[in-house]
Structure 1
């Protein structure tokens, strides 16, 4: 029996090493799932954009219509000039003092008619909703964050850093405590008409399967 003791010891060590790797793989899988879920929710979160607010769309539409009407009148005037023989010399040139009216330039449309103007949210910067996705372990985070993160990159980076301490058996929370989080989840924004959390949960099994494949022992 003694000549096999070394083999028994090696086998036990192999089991221990495999168990350690398996445990590490489980933790890594758990972390990858949480990171993918959190990152997806953050990326899908709408960012406030005054350009598409109803009041601003109506304002710009009315201004554009006024500018277009001006250009239409210019075109009519120039057509009348072309059709009036007395405006031309015998050689076909314009007589002194006769000239075409000029349509608006892009700058004139912007400055004189405010076709790209805003009546609401002139100083608004979107991204607070994305910045308010908070990760925590075992207890959901409370309160709101004043940060603004239009791209979501900083929020995702913070999530990835915090998830490094997560291990299997713990409970991971990703919450957004802003008062308009629930309305946004249920279609208040055209940027995310089907929400963020519900869409991500619908893809949950694929996220899990991919994480398992990536961390297989």
Structure 2
């Protein structure tokens, strides 16, 4: 094997690891945002909920954008976050390194939740997740195979 081929194999391996690390980081950040996301609990509301109310609209509105920020609100609910997380994971490109990722929530009350106006998230969630970002990166890199 020549030196040039050795370098090419090294570059390919490094690129694959970078792709895996970036994908893992996006998945972990999305999971943390989902875990911290409040799901409407009408027992604490001043007014009764609409008939048939099911919480989870905020969770359903977490969206992934790759190189472009998603716009608009998503209809419906996802109380467990499973469907939304699945869509985010499916949206991560195989060659994920070198791209800009946006995890956004366009629910009209998202900023109020981040400002602490939720009993379930009194200190918000995005800022707290951002404070954990270095640990999320470290964990994703540590999880890479040798």
TM norm. shorter chain > 0.5: yes
Could you tell me how far 1:216 is from its partner in structure 2? 5.6
The number of residue pairs the alignment matches comes to 146
CA contact (8 A) 1:50 1:122 kept: no
Q: Normalising by structure 2, what TM-score?
A: 0.92
Contact conserved, 1:50 with 1:121, CA < 8 A, in 2? no
Q: Tell whether the 8 Å contact from 1:126 to 1:148 is kept in structure 2 after alignment.
A: yes
Aligned to 1:50: 42
Q: In proportion to residue count, which structure has more helix? A: 1
Aligned residue in 1 for 2:6: 14
Which aligned pairs between 1:57-206 and structure 2 lie closer than 5 A? 119-165=48-94, 167-206=96-135
Does residue 34 in structure 1 map to residue 26 in structure 2?
yes
Larger Rg: 1
Q: Post-superposition, which runs of at least 4 consecutive aligned residues in structure 1 deviate over 3 A?
A: 119-122
Task: Assess if the C-alpha contact under 8 Å between 1:137 and 1:166 holds in 2.
Answer: no
User: Hey, what's the Cα distance between the residues in 2 that align with 1:203 and 1:29?
Assistant: 16
* 1:73-132 deviation digits (Å, cap 9, x = unpaired): xxxxxxxxxxxxxxxxxxxxxxxxxxxxxxxxxxxxxxxxxxxxxx44442111011000
Compared CA separation, residues 166 and 156, structure 1 to 2 (3 A): farther
Q: Match for 2:17 among 15, 20, 25? A: 25
Structure 2 alignment gaps of length 5 or more: none
Distance across 2 between alignment mates of 1:139 and 1:203: 24
What value does the CA root-mean-square deviation take over the aligned residues? 1.6
Change (3 A) 1:179 1:200: same
